[in-house]
Amino acid sequence: MDFTLSERDRMLQKSIREFAEKELPPRMDRMEETGEFPLDLLEGLAKMGILGVITPREYGGSGLGHLARVLVLEQLGRICPAIPMSLEVHHMCVYGINTWGTEEQKKKYLPALADGKTLGVFAVTEPGGGSDVGGTQTTARLDGNDYVLNGRKCFITNAHVSDIWVVAAMTGEGRKGMSAFIVEKDFPGAGTGHVEDKLGLRGANTGELVLQDCRVPKENLLGGEGNGMSVALETIVKCGRTGMASVGLGILNAVLEEAVKFANERVLYGKPISRLQAIQFYLSDIYSDLEIARLLAYRAGWLLDNELPADAEATLAKQWICEAAARSARKAVEIHGSYGILKEYPVQRLLRDALVTVPAGGTAEIAKVVLSRQAMS
Amino acid sequence: MEMIVCIKPVPDPKQAGKMTIDRETGTMIRRDVPSVINPLDRHALEASVRIRERHGGRVTALSMAPDDVLPVLKESLARGADRLVLLSDRRFAGGDTLATACVIAAAVGHLGTFDLVMCGDETTDSGTAQVSAQIAEFLDVPNIMHVDDCGVSPDGDLRLHSRNEEGAFTAEGQTPMVVSVTADINEPRYVTLMDVLDSEGKEVLILSADDLPLEESWIGLEGSPTRVLELFEPERKSRAEMLSGTPAEQAAVLADRLRRLGFRNG
């Protein structure tokens, strides 16, 4: 087995690291304060090729693939996890359209999702439940050349900062009754609702989409009528879970760096607290979580690039890494003592960010159900 | 314009704290710190790429280094160089600035005619700031250091602005010449994912001492008149004092100290 990253991967890792270290910190206070995504960053994200990292070159992307996406999101998340949170959902929109879209749909939407004018949305969750995809209540009724959509989508990342939404709605009954649509923000009847005020990942916009007699042209049906469940599940499992794993991985990088920095600087009993075994045990735990997380996330990306089965691996990566990020961030706060709860120390934000990743994109409990099936298979 | 940019791999300055010194051999232990392209060399590369974008030509990144740092140097291709030339040979090891400049000048001559050789003013590892002048001397062309602005005039001459602690001047002159730049000359662009991809098809040429018109006595340790007598870490004196108390109490103590040091209101 070869665990080394290629020259290309190492170079793109370095380039994104430089971009993140310079471009993200100046925007972070405002993101925390307002809970808004920094739209002025979109142009830079597009130029860097980050928005189009899994978009094929013929549609304006770099087509570097899923491992590259993990590396990119990790480096961004090391500085500001809210950014890769937004981007991972943006990539889900790209993934859905690229995998199931017609040539016309790809030509129309993929370049627009790579050039920095907007972010993408992938909207399945409803007030009635996110884990229960089959419980979707939004309806789509064919009327002439349009589908007419009615319903509400909630906890939707990028809801208020996106012009292009992939939306799941019921065109019939049961598993085969779900269809996916590409909805433009400016379609009649398409609107946004409540903006969520979150504990963490505050700079990633989260909110409601409202569809009131929203008219969507027939040609915007994605993947054919009745295939919405496949569109939703495959995108969530493969792209969404690998993406969330990458966000958690980015957080773990930052958690270890902040913990080590503080432990080396903080002097108690005449020496840095990093010389105390109690603190060393915490650092060892965090380091272990980071190293395991990296292996899990990179494997998920690598499997996807090689078109190998990755559902269980992506689910494992998401579930394990996001919980590891939360427990390690908690330990980093412990290392900081009372400083850890002060806003000027990043660890409190990292803990809040990590807590948000745990249910985002699929709860740990749903993931464990999936993993138990794999265990028993 | 045919441009050659000299680049050097140096230990990442951001991780300089990890560097240690082998007291027995008097050399730096670099293995714990990853290498990067010397920061000022990135500015030189950016300046050359900008000239090419406006006026055409070719940019060659040139480095004398062990071949295991080739992946680090390939970043120059993603940063816009058209090709990378690596001068790698065990016999080059231990060269001082004179021996290094001798090898680089020989390589510049070997590569054909050139208009401009660009370097960073100095490197972060040794900081001698001698190599660009020595290259110019070997090539027998003019040299200008501390360049913080450069352009090409309509008749093809180079227009350069140079600033040092004593003043500044603008010079205009015909190529070929050797210049070295400061960080003020530009802000190097980010390497995008497309740049990384595009760099993969670019030419990489590796040359050894046998490829160049060099004599053994000019290169490596033998060709180096410089002798390093001692390498040592400067003594670290921590003079920071931590204040305690409420923010108001700390501010009062701080204000008092500043007053005693001679700072006054207004």
Q: Is B195 on the interface with A (CB under 8 A)?
A: yes
Residue A68, min C-alpha distance to chain B (Å): 9
CA closest to A7 among chain B residues:
B71
Residue A10, min C-alpha distance to chain B (Å): 9
- Selected from 1.10.230.10, 3.40.50.620, 3.80.30.20, 3.40.50.2000, the CATH number assigned to the domain covering B2-218 reads 3.40.50.620
Q: Is B200 on the interface with A (CB under 8 A)?
A: yes
CA closest to B72 among chain A residues:
A11
Task: Answer yes or no: do A48 and B192 touch at CB < 8 A.
Answer: yes
DSSP label at B176? P
Between CA B162 and CA A21 the distance in angstroms is: 30
Please tell me whether residue B118 adopts helix, strand or coil conformation: strand
Please tell me whether residue B117 adopts helix, strand or coil conformation: strand
Residue A8, min C-alpha distance to chain B (Å): 7
DSSP label at A120? E
| B200 contacts on A by Cβ (under 8 Å) | 8
Task: Answer yes or no: do B193 and A14 touch at CB < 8 A.
Answer: no
Task: Closest CB to A11: pick one of B78, B190, B194.
Answer: B78
| Residues ≥6 apart with Cβ < 8 Å to A88 | A73, A239, A240, A243, A244, A246, A247, A361
Q: Is B196 on the interface with A (CB under 8 A)?
A: yes
Residue B33, min C-alpha distance to chain A (Å): 15
Task: Closest CB to A64: pick one of B75, B193, B199.
Answer: B193
Angle at alpha carbon of residue B85, lines to B82 and B86, rounded to 5°: 145
pLDDT of residue B229: 82
**B158: Cα within 13 Å, side-chain hemisphere:** 28
Residue-range domain boundaries for chain A: 7-117, 121-226, 230-376
Residue B38, min C-alpha distance to chain A (Å): 15
Task: Report the top-level CATH class of A121-226.
Answer: mainly beta
Q: Please report, for residues A229, A266, A346, B10, B247, the alpha-carbon distance to residue B244 in angstroms, rounded to integers and kept in the order given.
A: 61, 14, 22, 41, 8
Task: Answer yes or no: do A8 and B197 touch at CB < 8 A.
Answer: yes
Q: Is B78 on the interface with A (CB under 8 A)?
A: yes
CA closest to A22 among chain B residues:
B190
The pLDDT tens digits for B238-251 are: 778 888 888 899 99
- Fold of domain A7-117: Butyryl-Coa Dehydrogenase, subunit A; domain 1 (1.10.540)
pLDDT of residue B266: 58
Average pLDDT, consecutive stretches of 10 residues, N- to C-terminus, chain A (377 residues): 93 97 97 96 97 97 97 98 98 98 98 96 87 85 97 96 97 93 98 96 97 98 96 95 98 98 94 96 98 98 97 96 98 96 95 95 85 90
- Fold of domain A230-376: Butyryl-CoA Dehydrogenase, subunit A; domain 3 (1.20.140)
Please identify every stretch of chain B with a pLDDT value under 70, giving residue numbers as ranges: 266
Between CA B122 and CA B44 the distance in angstroms is: 11
Please tell me whether residue A65 adopts helix, strand or coil conformation: coil
Assess whether the region A7-117 and the region A230-376 belong to the same CATH fold. no
Task: Answer yes or no: do A15 and B190 touch at CB < 8 A.
Answer: yes
Q: Is B116 on the interface with A (CB under 8 A)?
A: no
Task: Answer yes or no: do A11 and B191 touch at CB < 8 A.
Answer: yes
Q: Is B197 on the interface with A (CB under 8 A)?
A: yes
Q: Is B240 on the interface with A (CB under 8 A)?
A: no
Q: At what angle do helices A277-305 and A311-336 cross, to 10 degrees?
A: 160
Q: Is B8 on the interface with A (CB under 8 A)?
A: no
pLDDT of residue A33: 94
Mutation for B interface: A10, A13, A15, A338, most B CBs within 10 A: A15
Between CA A366 and CA A129 the distance in angstroms is: 12
| A58 contacts on B by Cβ (under 8 Å) | none
DSSP label at B109? H
Task: Closest CB to A12: pick one of B71, B74, B193.
Answer: B193
> In percent, how much of chain B has pLDDT > 90?
63
| A44 contacts on B by Cβ (under 8 Å) | 190
Between CA B190 and CA B14 the distance in angstroms is: 18
Between CA B260 and CA B240 the distance in angstroms is: 17
Task: Closest CB to A7: pick one of B74, B192, B193.
Answer: B74
Task: Answer yes or no: do A62 and B197 touch at CB < 8 A.
Answer: yes
Q: Please report, for residues A253, A259, A273, B241, the alpha-carbon distance to residue A265 in angstroms, rounded to integers and kept in the order given.
A: 19, 10, 8, 13
